[in-house]
Structure 1
Amino acid sequence: MEKYEAAVLVKHRAFVQLKTALQEMMPADIAQLLSELIEEQDEFGEKEFTLIFRVLPKELAAEAFTYMDSDLQMVLINAISDRELRAVLDELFLDDTVDIIEEMPANVVSRILKATDPDKRKQINELLNYPEDSAGSIMTTEFVYFRKEDSVREAFERIRSVGVVKETVYTCYVTDNRRLVGRVSLLDLVVADEDAVIEDIMDSTVVSVYTHDDQEAVANLLAKHGLAAIPVVDKENRIVGIITFDDVMDVIREENAEDMAMMSAVMPSEESYFKTSVWKHARSRIVWLLVLMLSATLTGAITNHFEAQIAAIPLLVSFMPMLTGTGGNCGSQSSTMVIQGMAMDEIRLKDFFKVVFKEFRIAIICSIILSAVNFGRIVLFYHDVKIAAVVSVTLVGTVILSKLLGCMLPMLAKKIHIDPAIMSAPLLSTLVDSCSTLLYFTIALHVLDFPA
């Protein structure tokens, strides 16, 4: 259904047709539709937004609610009654409720907690106490588990009784005095004899994570093993929750957005582009811009130091942008590949020398090709073999240096517990600029004949 059609149905109070049309849509599409109506329809306000939400069946309304951004959720929470809010929260999984609470101001959080039952409120508070970006902060405590001595028949009875309110029933877990001892899939249960004991059909090799493990490491582990869910245990190996693939997708998206911001020399922001004020945008960028601008003065100081040589052979200056630009590009390529490899857990700190050696060999091949092309170009256009040799040799050194720095700096940053994305294009380019300029004029002094 198009947003204009929905607006017309609301305007004419055609709620039966509206409900029928909305029931044929996916929850994420409903949330997007409501967002577009709020943004683009001048006559469409909070009242009309609430009317559409109230038309939705209870389960569909709750699912659509989880896909809305925090602003729309807050508008809706403020517009509906406590009874309606309680009905929505009752349909939400615990981890979705926690995600919503983390985005809301204190007064809205207070209302949400007031609308939840005491048991759920206690679980919410426990999840909120875990460190930010930890496995415990993104897990849900709503999962299906069996005792190892249960029969398959008893397992199915448990799934029928509680499965509808759990995050997933496709993977269930087996415990012995609350300790995690195995897992069993729904397929395992379906093909097993009803009198079989869970311990006999379970898989005792279980990949799990601890409550305080970093969420990015959890995402990598789940992707590595191709799991739909991964259990979360405490220090005594007692299962306390699970993390499902949809939660991991959110983590990957957040981490990628953060890395992209850091690699562009912008401080990460949890808010979207249009919801972030101009002042906040400027504040997130100005710090790194100042750092890069001040660090670039080193290149200027090096250039000023060789002012006499530049005055003697002005042609030298024309090749500086090419050298610094090529160095920055080469360093950016290496740092991007290494940062991506570390994020995917393909490159580890123990691989430091292996990575350096590989990038060195890549740099040798690239630098020889680039310098050969550049040597021919300078000889052809400027008819000066010595300057061509200086620029080409500098280019070889610059490419090797920049690629080595590009691969080493992110790994060194991770070693000292700094986000490797910081050591990316902007900072790396500034550092390479200074080094390549110094190398350029040092080689020129030894090769070219400058007047006394």
Structure 2
Amino acid sequence: MNRQILTDLLRKRDFKAVRSILEVMYTVDIAALLAELDDKEMILAFRLIEKAKAAEVFAEMSSSMQAYLVEMFTEKELKELLDELYMDDTVDLLEELPANLVTRILEQVDREKRAQINTILNYPEDSAGSIMTTEYVDLRRTTTVREAMEHIKQTGIHKETIYTCYVLENRKLIGIVSAKDLMTMDDDLTMDELMEKEIISVTTHTDQEEAVRLLSRYNLLSLPVLDQQGYMVGIVTIDDAMDVLVDETTEDMEIMNALSPSEQPYFETGVFRHAKNRIVWLLFLMLSATLTQTIIAHYEAAFTAVPLLVSFIPMLTDTGGNCGSQSSTLIIRGLALDEIHFGDIFRVVFKEFRVAILVGAALAIVNGVYMVIRYRDPMLALLVSISLVATILIAKMIGCVLPLFAKKLHMDPAIMAAPLITTIVDVCSIMVYFQVATHLLGLI
């Protein structure tokens, strides 16, 4: 289905055809298609979607599209939508909307749901509690398989997932039962006989990245969330985890490339906002780079005597920056995947030291041979090769250590990525280069 076909059908007012087409499309594809329409066509097409499916499509839309629809909906349409939305999608919507629309939405929900929304909104940002949903299948210890299946048939349509059921006693989680077990076991077995008692769970204040890590590590479809008293209050589902993963990965990519994180899509972010997100880091890096200029000026006598020395500065700084970026990227990845911890710092340093020696030796040999052939000056080749090995060694050490210390200080390790490390390595490589040059030229 493309935009032109849908637009033609809407203009011909062939709503039956539009409804039949939208009925067989995936919700995410419908959301993408509606994003291509103008506002009037978009709301017209949205109103032709079946109610339950419309809520799923709405959850896939951008915040700007959601805000427009909420503004245009009648009170009845808004209430019908909110009745179909899952709790976590409702909370996500409220976090993105302006205050006047938030008030309008809260007026359409009952007191119990409003209390649940306020509770979730009060959890710390980026915590498991802030992304959880409160719609899950709960069972009792004495419930039989037959009773559990009947319960799921009656209430499952309103739950975010029915693939994992939770056995509660006085609101406390005592076991987990999978839908597979319910469908394959004897009807008269009770949950007490069937449930898994080794439970992986998080609290409402657990960092959302930790929740995602647990879902991935234990191959779970959902993860129970407990409050500070141990009562079960919700679940984090695999689709919530995917959203967190995308957001965190995007944030890390932006930080690693000297950008302030932004949650807005590229085209929905204004020019001034884009400039603001970039200019702070660029100013810091530009001012930091003036230190390199100061060092070069200090050694002016060295390259006045041998002007050719200046021509090798870009090669040294670029190689050092690339080596540092390689190390930092691997360490940041290891930290993100929980493969590396601060306690591993000496193992990491020792490994990167050996890698630096091998890489440095290989590059120095190639560079030395090239310089001897081209410039017929073994001493100059030795000078640059020694500087190259030292630069690579320093870059590797800086690249592997800084992310570990950032993690230890509860900072985002992605801060210690290419732009910052390149700036630091540039300064170090220039200092090493001219120190080596000064000593070797003094021996000549």
Give the TM-score category using the shorter length: over 0.9
* Structure 2 counterpart of 1:351, from 327, 331, 344: 344
1:357-385 CA-partner distances (Å, limit 9, x unpaired): 11111111111101110110111111111
State the number of aligned residues. 444
* Structure 1 counterpart of 2:219, from 197, 205, 226: 226
Matching residue of 1:201: 194
Matching residue of 1:409: 402
Worse overlay, 134-143 or 22-31: 22-31
Distance, in Å, in 1 between the alignment partners of 2:147 and 2:235 is 22
* Conserved 8 A contact 1:330-1:402: yes
- AA partner of residue 157 (structure 2): V
State the Cα distance separating 1:12 from its structure 2 match: 1.1
* Structure 1 counterpart of 2:385, from 377, 381, 392: 392
SS at match of 2:186: coil
Does the alignment pair 1:63 with 2:69? no
Matching residue of 2:73: 80
Matching residue of 1:326: 319
Matching residue of 1:115: 108
Identity of paired residues, percent? 52
1:214-254 CA-partner distances (Å, limit 9, x unpaired): 11111111111111111111233221110000000000000
Does the alignment pair 1:266 with 2:259? yes
* Structure 1 counterpart of 2:428, from 435, 440, 448: 435
State the Cα distance separating 1:99 from its structure 2 match: 0.7
Matching residue of 2:164: 171
State the Cα distance separating 1:150 from its structure 2 match: 2.1
Distance, in Å, in 2 between the alignment partners of 1:218 and 1:157 is 31
Q: 1:166 to 1:90 in 2, by over 3 A?
A: same
Worse overlay, 130-139 or 272-281: 272-281
Distance, in Å, in 2 between the alignment partners of 1:349 and 1:154 is 50
Does the alignment pair 1:100 with 2:93? yes
SS at match of 2:125: coil
Distance, in Å, in 2 between the alignment partners of 1:166 and 1:273 is 34
Distance, in Å, in 1 between the alignment partners of 2:239 and 2:42 is 27
Worse overlay, 392-401 or 48-57: 48-57
1:36-80 CA-partner distances (Å, limit 9, x unpaired): 123xxxxxxx33222111111111211111111011111111112
What aligned pairs does 1:412-423 form with structure 2 within 5 A after superposition?
A: 412-423=405-416
Does the alignment pair 1:31 with 2:24? no
State the Cα distance separating 1:442 from its structure 2 match: 0.6
Matching residue of 1:9: 9
Distance, in Å, in 2 between the alignment partners of 1:353 and 1:237 is 39
* Conserved 8 A contact 2:35-2:42: no
SS at match of 1:36: coil
State the Cα distance separating 1:154 from its structure 2 match: 2.2
- AA partner of residue 89 (structure 1): L
Matching residue of 1:42: none
* Conserved 8 A contact 1:312-1:450: no
Worse overlay, 245-254 or 50-59: 50-59
State the Cα distance separating 1:155 from its structure 2 match: 1.5
Does the alignment pair 1:289 with 2:289? no
Give the structure-2-normalised TM-score. Answer: 0.98
State the Cα distance separating 1:114 from its structure 2 match: 1.1
Matching residue of 1:134: 127
* Structure 1 counterpart of 2:45, from 52, 70, 74: 52
* Structure 1 counterpart of 2:151, from 152, 158, 176: 158
Worse overlay, 399-408 or 170-179: 170-179
Distance, in Å, in 1 between the alignment partners of 2:225 and 2:346 is 34
- AA partner of residue 241 (structure 1): G
State the Cα distance separating 1:356 from its structure 2 match: 1.4
State the Cα distance separating 1:346 from its structure 2 match: 1.4
Distance, in Å, in 1 between the alignment partners of 2:88 and 2:340 is 31
Worse overlay, 71-80 or 422-431: 71-80
* Conserved 8 A contact 2:372-2:381: yes
Distance, in Å, in 2 between the alignment partners of 1:260 and 1:245 is 22
State the Cα distance separating 1:408 from its structure 2 match: 0.5
Matching residue of 2:335: 342
Distance, in Å, in 2 between the alignment partners of 1:158 and 1:102 is 33
State the Cα distance separating 1:450 from its structure 2 match: 7.7
Matching residue of 2:268: 275
* Conserved 8 A contact 1:179-1:236: no
* Structure 2 counterpart of 1:378, from 349, 365, 371: 371
Give unmatched runs, 5+ long, in structure 1. Answer: 39-45
* Conserved 8 A contact 2:127-2:207: yes
- AA partner of residue 35 (structure 1): A
Distance, in Å, in 2 between the alignment partners of 1:278 and 1:346 is 39
